[in-house]
Amino acid sequence: MGKNMKWNLIFPILVFAWLFSSCQTATAQEKTIPTILQAAKPTLPLKTDTPRAIATVTPTPDIAATVIAIGPPKMHSSFLSTDSKWKIEIVSYDCVKVDPRENADANAVEVLKLIDITDQTETIIDSQLLNCGGVGAFGLGGLFWSPNNQYFYYTDAREGVPDGLCGYWARPIKRVNVDTERVDPVGGGHLSPDKTKLAFWQDNEIVIWSLDEGEIARIPAMVSQAFKNEIAWSPDGQSLVYLQTENDCTPFGKSYVTRLDLSDMTQNLLFGSEEASFTWLAWDIPDRISLTDDTGTKWMYNLASKELKPIQ
């Protein structure tokens, strides 16, 4: 076979190999580019002492993450368990205007962390994005550890009250299990004098809650058609009184005050009042209940004489 004939056979093979190699390289590049783009993340300007226009910060879909990235954390409060094995820290990140639009509000962030003292590991348990121009109930606030240090109780409405509130409202309470890191809502509770139990409303029932064990008892309210209102523990923690009103907003109408004895979960209606619509009560000394009506007048109910009268 002549030299020219051999070259005619080899040349097409070389051309085909070069084309195939080029196609493979292009395919590899097409696969690599999306991966690089996905890995790329926008960077925020470094924080310096020189003032900068907040509008230069590029908004991201995750406003909370951006607020945290911009500002340093500030310690709001901390709570060490009595066995010194756990600590709760609440840190805040100040108001930052992430959205550059002129009418956009600034935002802040609060974070609740659980810290294992033995190895200093930290777990974010809860966080809250705050609208700095907003109103209502807001803020993470630590309350107390359970006596056995198994649970920490806190609120996600540390400050303020709900918008348009008219009538009774108790700050909501949550608890976190330090072993499982699970968070459960408990309810707006009133702490007993010995700091071992809560009493709170759930629908139209009074619930007694052990900080260590959870729910231990419940009983329907004495007046089934009335609205829930304040709860107060007796000084010895063995009883409580609770207030109900005919309406849940002003005018509150007729008021009812009931005593609940926890030893046998029996209750009796102390009195119903049409003369005054009560909106608050406290059991501050053993034989006396203090009350305030919707006009601000203070009253006293004597448990021994069963006499209700205004305080002059």
Q: What is the pLDDT along the chain (312 residues), one digit of tens a residue?
A: 443 443 343 334 333 444 334 434 433 333 332 322 222 333 333 333 333 333 333 444 588 999 999 989 999 999 999 999 999 999 999 999 988 887 888 999 999 999 999 999 999 999 999 999 888 999 999 999 999 999 999 999 999 999 989 999 999 999 999 999 999 999 999 999 999 999 999 999 999 999 999 999 999 999 999 999 999 999 999 999 999 999 999 999 999 999 999 999 999 999 999 999 999 999 999 999 999 999 999 999 999 999 999 997
End-to-end CA distance of the chain: 130
Q: Where are the domains of the chain?
A: 187-312
Residues 6+ apart with CB under 8 A from 77: 89, 90, 141, 142
Measure the CA–CA gap between 143 and 197, rounded to whole angstroms.
13
* CATH 2.130.10.10 assigned to 187-312: yes
pLDDT of residue 28: 37
- The reported pLDDT for the residue numbered 312 is 74
**pLDDT confidence of residue 133:** 82
Q: What is the pLDDT of residue 6?
A: 39
Residue type, 255: S
| pTM for the structure as a whole | 0.78
**What is the pLDDT at residue 31?**
33
Cα within 13 Å of Cα(12), Cβ side: 4
φ/ψ (deg, to 5) at 61? -60, -30
Place of tokens 């729910």: 215
